[in-house]
Structure 1
Amino acid sequence: MAATKTDMLMQVLRDRIARRALGPGDRMPSIRRFAEQMKVSPSTVVEAYDRLAAEGVISAKRGSGFYVSNSNLPPMKLTPAGSPQTRNVDPFWVSRQSLDAQPGAVQPGCGWLPEDWMPHEAMRKGLRTLAKSDAATLTNYAPARGSLVLRRCLLGRFAEESLSATPEHLMLTASASQALDLICRLLLRPGDTVLVDDPGYFNFRALLRAHQVNVIGVPYTREGPDLAAFEAALAGAPRLYITNSALHNPTGATLSPQIAHRLLALAAAHELTIVEDDTFVDLEPEPSPRLAVLDGLNRVLKIGGFSKTLSASVRCGYIAGRADWIEALVDLQVATSFGGPSPVATELLAHVLTGGGYRKHIAELHRRLAGARKAVAAQLAPLGITPWTLPRGGFYLWCRFPEGTDTGDIAQRAMEDNVMLAPGNVFSPSQSATRFMRFNVTQMSDPRAHEALAKAMAA
C-alpha cells in the first residue's frame, strides 16, 4: 500500500526526533505553520500528531500544543536511513565511502597519503624495538595523560614553534578526532552554538551533529575567516570556534598575521574558545601564524595527531591547553576510555618521531607534494577545473568547476567506476560550494581517476 501524506509527515517527524533536531520536552511545530511548510492541510497534520501521540512519541498539553515525550524516544540517528551508496551526499557519505572502499578503488577524495608515501621501514624498525620492550608496555593500561616519552617529544616540538607549554598543559588522546570529541563533551551542551569555517573540514560538522549543537558557518577567504561575517556570527553567543590555521582543510589557505590577531581580540571580547586543529603542521614547508602560539594557550586549545605523516593505523592525538582545562579533560578521558591511548601506539610513535629518519621523511614529503600539486593542477586544467588557491604545502587542492556543474552529481557518477571523490557541499554548512571539489593530489596518479572524472562531467 502506498504511503499516505499522513504517513510521510509522521516519518519526517520521527526522523527529526531521532536526529534530536527535536529533543525531549521540545514543543512541536504549530499545526498551521507545519502544514504550510509541508504543503498539506492542517487536518493532515492533526492526524499525524494524534497518531504519534497514540504511539507515545509526542504528548498533548491542553491549550499549549504537542511536545516530544521524555520517554519512548527512538535511538539517536545522525543520517537518514539507507545504504551509504544510496543516501544523500553528505559528510557521512564521504567518510564511509572512503573507509569502506572496495579493493582497487581510486580515492582522490580521501584524507590520507598512499601507502608508498609513508615511512614503512621506520615503522617496522620501531615495531621490532617495541617487541623487545618490557612486558608492562605490551600489557598495561596507559597513564591518564598518556605516554610521558611522547609528551616530552611533543613539548620539544612545541618549543620549536615558540609555543611555551609544560607537562600540565598537554595530554594524549586516541586520535585528533577523539581530542575534539572530548573538548565538545566538556564545553558544550545540546543547543549551544559553534562556529566553523565555510568551507571547512566535513568531520567537524559530523561530530557536532552528534553533540546536538547549532552550527554556523563563517565564509573562509584566502587569508582566514571573513572577519565581518565572523563578528556578525558572534551575536549568536557561540561557545566554540573550530578551525585549521595552517594548510586549511579543504582550501589549503594559510591564516594571515593580521586576521589571526583580530580573531583573538574578538574571541577575548566575546569569551569565545577556539579549537585549533594543527594536524597538518609537519606538511607546511615554512611556519605560519598559529593562534595557540599568539594566544599562549589561554583561549585556544590546540589539537593534532600523526595519521597524515606516519600512520592512520597507529592512532594517537593530543590536546594542548590551559592547565585547568587539561585536568578536566584528563578526568573525562578516564571516565570514557580509562586512561590515555595505547602504550604500544604511543611508544612506537615516539620511537619514530625521535629517530633520525623522521625529518628526512618530512623533507621528502615536501618535495614530492610540491611536484604533485603542480602536476594535478595541470592535469585538471583541460577539464576547466582550476585551483581556488595554490597552497604552500599539503596534499589538497580546492578546485572550482565550470559554471553549472554540481560536483555532488559528479561524485555519485564517479562511484559507478569505483572512484571516490569529495564534492564541495560536504564541506559547506551553507551548501554554497556546489561548483567546488577537494582533490587529494597524492591519490590522483591512477589514470582511472582522470578518466572517471572526465566521463562524469561529460554525462
Structure 2
Amino acid sequence: MAQSPTRIETVMQTIQSRITSRTYPPGTRLPSVRALAKTLGFSVSTVVEAYERLAAENVIRARQGSGFYVCGPMPPLALSDIEPRADRAIDPLWVSRQALEAGPDTLKPGCGWLPDDWMYEAGMRRALRSLAQSRNARLVDYATPQGLPELRQLLARRMAALDIEAPPRQILLADSSTQAIDLICRLLLEPGDTVLVDDPCYFNFHALLRAHRATATGIPMTPSGPDTAAFETALRQHKPRLYITNSGIHNPTGAILSPLTAHRLLKLADSAGLIIVEDDIFADFEIHPAPRLAAFDGLSNVIHIGSFSKTVSASLRCGYIAARADWIDQLTDLKIATAFGGGHLAAAAMLSTLTDSGYRKHLEALRNRLAAAMETAVARLGRLGIVPWLVPQAGMFLWCQLPHGIDAAGIARACLKQGVVLAPGNVFSQSLSASGFLRFNVAQCGDERIFSVLSRTLSQAA
C-alpha cells in the first residue's frame, strides 16, 4: 500500500499544483510562511521546510526580505490539474481517452459515436476511389482559406432547409466541430470570461473551456431546452460572453428545443449582448427538424457549427462554421494562423459522399436502426432499474437515472475492470449534480455482455 505524503510533501504538492494550474504564474509572490501555515493547519516550520525544498529544486526562489516567488518559465498546462476535484478519477478527458484507446474487445456503451458498420463506409470508399482516379483532384495541395467552395455551397443549401440563411461567403470549413469551437473561443474569449453551458452538456465543452481559461456556468436542462429563468439569472449575475449548446438533438439528454424556449432565449441573449454557439452535429439523425436559433436570429449573434463525424466518418475530419461575414473573415485569419490551410482531400471526399445517391437511403436506414436500438435499450435498462430521463424522438443517446443511492462514477470504475466503458453523469454536469446518471449510446448497446456486467455491478453496489 502506498504511503501517505508527509506534511512537508503535502505543502510542496499544493504549491506545485497551483503553479501547474496557473493559479501561481511565474513571478508570483507566494503566501508568507505564517499565512500558508494558518491556511493549511500546519506548523510554520513545516511550511518553511517545504519552501526551502522547492527552492532547492528551482521551483521557487527566495528574495531576501521579500519572500518566495515562483520561478519561470511557466510549466505546460495540465488540464487534469485545473478541473473540479470532485469525481476527478473519472472526468471528461478520462472518458474520452478510455473510449478512444479501447481495444477491439472492449464494449463502449459510454462512447459518443456509432459502430463502424453503422457508418456510411460504402459511400466514403466510392468517394475516395473517384478522387484517386480523377486527373483534376487536388490530392497534394492546400485548400483555399475558407475551404472548398462547392462544399460550402452544399452546406448553404442544407442549412436553407432548416431556414438558416447562410450564403457560402459566410461559411468557413474546419477540421471538426471541436476545431470550430476552438477557433470561436480564440476569437471571442479572454481568460476569465464566463461561458454558459447546459447542465448537463457534451463533456468536451468543459475541457475546451478550461483550455481557454474560461469560467463555465451551467444552466439546468429541461425536456424543452435550458431553464430560461435560470438563464436570465445567470445573465444578470455572471455577465457571460458566450452560450454554447446543441441545436436539434441535445447531448446527452436527447431533449429538443421548443419554439417558445428558443424565442425566450434569443430575447434574453439579445438584451444582454450574449453570443450563442449552437452545435448541430446530430442534424442528420433528426426525423422532424427542431427549431434552430440561427434561423430565428439570422446569424446576427448566433454562430452555427457542425460536422459529419457522427454519420459519415470520424476519420476523414470535416466541419464548418456559419456566422456573420465579419466574424468569418476574422475566423479565417485565425484558422490560417493556427492550422495554415485546411485539407482539400477531406472536403472533396465529404462533398462526394454527401451528394452520393445512396446517402439519403443510408440515413433513412440509420434512423430506423437507431429507433429500434433505442426501444431495445430502454427495455433492457428498465429491467435493471435504470430509467431514462426522457425517451428521445431520435438520435443515439439515452440519459438515464440509476436506482436510488447508486453512484455512477463507482459503477463506471467497476465496469471498466470488466471491459465496459461507461459515461457517468458528472462528467457532463458543471455543477456535479448528476452523480446518479449515466449516458448510454444505444447503437453501442447491442452486446448482451453489457447488461450482464451492469446487472452484477449494480447488485454489488446495492
In which range does the TM-score fall when normalised by the shorter chain? Answer: over 0.9
Opposite residue 123 of structure 2, the aligned amino acid is A
Deviates more, 1:190-199 or 1:44-53: 44-53
Tell whether 2:326 aligns with 1:324. Answer: yes
The offset of 1:205, in angstroms, is 0.5
Check the 8 A contact 1:193/1:237 in 2, yes or no.
yes
Tell whether 2:248 aligns with 1:252. Answer: no
Superposition map of 1:18-417 within 5 A: 18-24=20-26, 28=30, 35=37, 38-41=40-43, 43-49=45-51, 51-52=53-54, 55-58=57-60, 68-69=70-71, 71-80=72-81, 88-134=89-135, 137-234=138-235, 235-340=237-342, 342-417=343-418
Distance 1:457 1:66 in 2: 51
The offset of 1:56, in angstroms, is 4.9
The offset of 1:120, in angstroms, is 2.0
Distance 1:377 1:53 in 2: 58
Q: 1:420 maps to which residue?
A: 421
After superposition, give the CA deviation of every residue in 1:1-28 in whole Å (9 maximum; x if it has no partner): 9732121122122123212244445565
The offset of 1:32, in angstroms, is 6.8
After superposition, give the CA deviation of every residue in 1:129-151 in whole Å (9 maximum; x if it has no partner): 11112365111111101111111
Q: 1:15 aligns with which of 6, 10, 17?
A: 17
Shift in CA distance, 329/9, structure 1 to aligned 2, threshold 3 Å:
same
After superposition, give the CA deviation of every residue in 1:18-49 in whole Å (9 maximum; x if it has no partner): 12244445565676775565443455445444
Check the 8 A contact 2:25/2:74 in 1, yes or no.
no
Shift in CA distance, 324/114, structure 1 to aligned 2, threshold 3 Å:
same
Distance 1:362 1:249 in 2: 19
SS at match of 1:102: coil
Distance 1:23 1:135 in 2: 52
The offset of 1:232, in angstroms, is 1.8
Check the 8 A contact 1:57/1:73 in 2, yes or no.
no
- Percent of residue pairs identical: 54
Deviates more, 1:429-438 or 1:135-144: 135-144
Check the 8 A contact 1:80/1:87 in 2, yes or no.
no
Shift in CA distance, 61/211, structure 1 to aligned 2, threshold 3 Å:
farther
Deviates more, 1:55-64 or 1:398-407: 55-64
Opposite residue 9 of structure 1, the aligned amino acid is V
Shift in CA distance, 37/224, structure 1 to aligned 2, threshold 3 Å:
farther
Distance 1:192 1:26 in 2: 22
After superposition, give the CA deviation of every residue in 1:329-363 in whole Å (9 maximum; x if it has no partner): 001111111122x1111111101111221111111
SS at match of 1:392: coil
Deviates more, 1:31-40 or 1:393-402: 31-40
Shift in CA distance, 360/92, structure 1 to aligned 2, threshold 3 Å:
same
The offset of 1:80, in angstroms, is 4.9
Distance 1:260 1:384 in 2: 34
Q: How many residues align?
A: 453
Deviates more, 1:94-103 or 1:206-215: 206-215
Check the 8 A contact 1:171/1:318 in 2, yes or no.
yes
Check the 8 A contact 2:20/2:81 in 1, yes or no.
no
Opposite residue 332 of structure 1, the aligned amino acid is L
Distance 1:189 1:197 in 2: 21
The offset of 1:110, in angstroms, is 0.5
SS at match of 2:383: helix
Distance 1:223 1:129 in 2: 44
Opposite residue 206 of structure 2, the aligned amino acid is R
Check the 8 A contact 1:243/1:275 in 2, yes or no.
yes
The offset of 1:73, in angstroms, is 2.3
Gaps of 5+ in 2: none
Q: 1:436 maps to which residue?
A: 437
The offset of 1:57, in angstroms, is 3.9
SS at match of 1:373: helix
Distance 1:94 1:250 in 2: 14
Check the 8 A contact 1:400/1:436 in 2, yes or no.
yes
Distance 1:252 1:177 in 2: 20
What CA RMSD, in Å, does the superposition of the two structures yield over aligned residues? 2.3
Distance 1:61 1:197 in 2: 46
The offset of 1:121, in angstroms, is 1.6
Distance 1:407 1:3 in 2: 29
Deviates more, 1:265-274 or 1:17-26: 17-26
Check the 8 A contact 1:386/1:400 in 2, yes or no.
yes
Check the 8 A contact 1:222/1:389 in 2, yes or no.
yes
